[in-house]
């Protein structure tokens, strides 16, 4: 029993460490080299998009609001799904199944009631975080849907206020997208935790597979390439774009 518990702790800890290390590395890349990550590139382009929409609110206002509406609907669906799954996990934790049935679900590892409760509690935390992050995403997108139509050309003739207004709106749009991404990450984290129910080996393997797949979803190999001499010799263009974020 002690060997099984040690095996469980080692593999599960390794899986968690793998996922956390990857996301700390990704955060560093987003901050230091935004043009080499999909999140950074999208954030830069959203800033350009927000400025373009605000250049002529009467012409682009409907397009901007429809875009925010689609994002709000998507975040609402994920938030509803997360709270529904949280309710299901809550029912299971409060005695939805017997001990005999639970042990049949677990292929290998610690089968004690305490470990079983920990597994379901961590899954519940992931879904609750996904719900909260998506609600915050809806909040920022709702604010941005109003701010994007501010006619700042008519209200502010001063260049300083003009820049400040567009930057604030772009920052609000990006915050909504960041919370959307965090909500998705919470869903992603729930997969290894779910496989932990079946034992530490499936949990470790699913963590490795998740990190492997996320790497190709998070890293871009084209946008962040240094500009060569054939492209007018502007080798600092990539760094200048990165500073926009």
Number of domain units in the chain: 1
**What value does the mean pLDDT take over residues 192-201?**
86
pLDDT at 181 over 90: yes
CA angle 11, 191, 130 (to 5 degrees): 125
Query: The domain containing residue 162 runs over which residues?
Result: 2-225+238-242
pLDDT at 6 over 80: no
SS3 category, 47: helix
Q: Is residue 233 part of a domain?
A: no
Q: Distance between CA 244 and CA 242 in Å, rounded?
A: 5
Q: Is residue 67 part of a domain?
A: yes
pLDDT digits (tens, 9 = 90+) for 118-173: 888 888 899 999 999 999 999 999 999 888 887 766 655 555 555 557 888 899 99
Strand partners, 37: 219
pLDDT digits (tens, 9 = 90+) for 73-119: 999 999 998 888 888 887 777 665 444 444 444 445 556 667 778 88
DSSP3 helix / strand / coil % (the chain, rounded to 5) = 80, 0, 15
Q: Is residue 195 part of a domain?
A: yes
This prediction has a pTM of: 0.78
Q: Is residue 231 part of a domain?
A: no
Q: Locate tokens 């597979």: which residue?
A: 209
Q: Is residue 154 part of a domain?
A: yes
Q: Is residue 46 part of a domain?
A: yes
Q: Is residue 230 part of a domain?
A: no
Asked if 4 and 107 count as a contact pair (C-beta separation under 8 A), the reply is no
């Amino acid at each position: 029993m002690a060997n099984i518990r040690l095996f469980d702790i080692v593999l599960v800890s390794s899986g968690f460490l793998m996922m956390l290390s990857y996301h700390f590395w990704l955060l560093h890349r987003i901050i230091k080299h935004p043009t080499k990550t999909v999140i950074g590139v999208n954030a830069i382009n959203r800033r350009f998009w927000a400025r373009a929409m605000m250049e002529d609110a009467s012409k682009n206002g409907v397009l901007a609001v429809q875009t925010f509406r689609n994002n709000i609907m998507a975040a609402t669906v994920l938030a509803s799904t997360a709270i529904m799954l949280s309710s299901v996990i809550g029912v299971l934790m409060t005695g939805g199944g017997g001990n005999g049935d639970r042990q049949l679900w677990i292929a290998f590892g610690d089968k004690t009631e305490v470990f079983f409760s920990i597994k379901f509690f961590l899954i519940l935390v992931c879904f609750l975080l996904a719900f909260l992050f998506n609600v915050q995403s809806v909040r920022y997108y709702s604010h941005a849907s109003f701010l994007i139509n501010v006619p700042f050309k008519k209200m502010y003739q001063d260049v300083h206020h003009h820049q400040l207004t567009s930057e604030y709106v772009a920052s609000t749009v990006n915050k909504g997208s960041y919370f959307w991404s965090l909500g998705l990450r919470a869903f992603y984290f729930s997969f290894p935790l779910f496989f932990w129910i079946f034992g530490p080996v499936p949990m470790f393997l699913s963590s490795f597979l998740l990190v492997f797949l996320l790497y190709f979803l998070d890293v871009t190999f084209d946008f962040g390439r240094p500009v060569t001499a054939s492209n007018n010799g502007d080798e600092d263009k990539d760094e200048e774009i990165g500073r926009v974020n």
